[in-house]
Chain A
Amino acid sequence: MSKNLFVGYNERDTFMHRLSGSTKLIGFVSLSIIGMVTFDTRFLLGIFLFSIILFWKSQIKLSEISFILKVIIAFAAFNIFLVYVFSPGYGISIYGSHHMILGNPNQFFNLSWEELLYLFNVLLKYTFAVPLALIFLLTTEPSEFAASLNKIGVSYRISYSVEITLRYIPDVQRDYRTISLAQQARGYEISKKANLITRAKGAVQIILPLIFTSLDRIETVSQAMSLRRFGRHNKRTWYMARRFEMADYLAFFVIFLIVIVGVLLFKVNNGRFWNPFN
């Protein structure tokens, strides 16, 4: 049931798989930050196309990600609908001009090219980072992820927490499934057939054992780690850490160029918005 719910690492030999985790992490973080801030449609389209090409290059199959794509499309569509319904004239107030398609600016519900451009920007913002995130998830081995977090300056305790999270998600999930089946066998209903109260009660009957077994596990694991002297030194090395190679430096250069272009566009546009209506 939950097999296609997740996207996870798949071993292949492509350019993206060979890049070090730190490079991909830095790339993802810097591109998503610059994309989050900018409202330049051309720039967002550019990043989107760039990430689609990378996606295609890393040979990820559509069947691996079909589920997540459906969720994202539903999420984006619903949000854009809300953004429009709550203030259809928002585009006009941002761009300061009105080129109407339907209605006039004095009505509440109207449609202008400005609003359409704004909505298109919002859609791009919801989606442009998705291919990058998927590439990152599908081409980076989970244990290398913690090593790369540490490499880019996150303290090793926090990196190790992330590593523990990734390590224990499958365990907690398995516990959850076992407990859920056991409780359902005893008659607790958690499916859509039941009403809200019954479902809530059913959920509590599952999370109680789940949480209490997990608290025991925290105890055991932290004792084991103390015995092995975790946290003794200020630094630690990682088995999965990778050295930067030529390709990584090349990637850094490309990322740097894209970010610089994004920053320069703020100057050119006099702000975060690209305004084609002037």
Chain B
Amino acid sequence: MSNKNRSVQTVVATGIGAAIIFVLMKFIAIPTGISNTQVNVAEGFLPLLAAIYGPVAAGLAMFIGHALNDFVTYGSPWWTWVIVDGLVGVAFGLFKRQLDIQSGKISVSKLVLFNVYQVVVNFVGWVLLAPTGDILIYHEPAGKVYVQGLAAWLLNSISVAVIGTVLLVLYAKTRTKRGSLKKEK
């Protein structure tokens, strides 16, 4: 596929990906009781989007989807978390080549590696970056934002580990395996 085509696909994947993320955030969030944190199904969709369309589409789609969702539910986006969510999408996208989902082969070791990676990415995002941003920009007390960050880290990692992995495996099954065709002798 040429470069031009791929850039059109990125634009569309960003747009429709953001729409899916928006709908998932709005309708299928399972609340946990800690404010602003729920088992987020949208977070589990992110690895698949990233594995197919790469860092730009995943990052932007998450950014747009999350910002729009905050916009229509809370009136104004909580920018630090929206930006971190976008960065997490970019980070997942950077793993696209290692995962190589279009080959149709997805081994257990690849999945384990991806899950270790995602837990680290979520840790950096939700425990280090997001709360620090909250303290710098919104001047909230450290205890509160770090507890929220820890909760978000755990829930997002679980969501990605369970829903994300299932989606990756199921998608890989729909791809034609590379090298599955042989020349007849």
Contacts and interface: CB of A to CB of B under 8 A. Distances in A.
The judgment on whether A and B are partners is yes
Interface of A: 2, 5-7, 32, 36-37, 39, 68, 71-72, 75, 78-79, 82-83, 85-87, 90, 94, 122, 125, 127, 129-134, 137, 157-158, 160-165, 167-169, 171-173, 176, 190, 196, 199-200, 203-204, 206-208, 210-212, 214-215, 217-218, 221-222, 225-226, 230-232, 272
Size class of B's contact patch? Answer: 35 or more
Contact of B75 (A130, A168, A169): A130
A207 B166 CA distance: 11
Closest 10 CB pairs of A and B: A164-B15, A130-B75, A129-B76, A86-B143, A161-B14, A87-B141, A86-B144, A222-B12, A168-B19, A165-B18
Interface of B: 4-5, 7-20, 22-24, 26-28, 30, 35-36, 39, 41, 45, 48, 52, 60-61, 64-65, 68, 71-76, 79, 137-144, 147-148, 162-163, 166-167, 170-171, 174
B9 to A, nearest CB: 4
13 contacts: A37-B137, A82-B35, A83-B140, A86-B143, A87-B143, A134-B75, A160-B15, A164-B15, A203-B30, A207-B41, A211-B167, A222-B5, A222-B13
B116 to A, nearest CB: 23
B15 A203 contact: no
Residue from the set A173, A215, A272 with the largest chain B CB neighbour count within 10 Å:
A215
Given A5-B26, A87-B141, A214 B12 contact: no
Contacts of B139: 39, 94, 272
A225 B9 CA distance: 9
B11 A164 contact: yes
A36 B79 contact: yes
The SS class assigned to the A binding surface is helix
A204 B163 contact: yes
A122 B162 CA distance: 36
Contact of A36 (B14, B28, B137, B162): B137
A200 B23 contact: no
A217 B16 contact: yes
The SS class assigned to the B binding surface is helix
A83 B16 contact: no
A164 B64 CA distance: 11
Given A164-B19, A203-B41, A211-B48, A133 B27 contact: no
Given A71-B74, A122-B140, A172-B23, A161 B11 contact: yes
A28 to B, nearest CB: 9
A77 B167 CA distance: 37
B7 to A, nearest CB: 6
Contact of A83 (B7, B48, B141): B141
Given A5-B26, A39-B139, A173-B23, A160 B75 contact: no
Contacts of A37: 137
B166 A204 contact: yes
Contact of A6 (B11, B48, B72, B75): B72
A94 B138 CA distance: 13
A38 to B, nearest CB: 10
A82 B137 contact: no
Given A199-B30, A225-B8, A168 B15 contact: yes
Contacts of B11: 157, 160-161, 164, 222, 225, 230-231
Contact of B16 (A72, A78, A190, A214): A214
Given A83-B140, A199-B30, A71 B167 contact: no
B13 A218 contact: yes
A86 B74 CA distance: 23
Contacts of A167: 15
Given A86-B144, A87-B144, A210-B20, A221 B12 contact: yes
Contacts of A203: 28, 30, 41
Contacts of B27: 2, 173, 176
A222 B20 contact: no
B19 A130 contact: no
A165 B28 contact: no
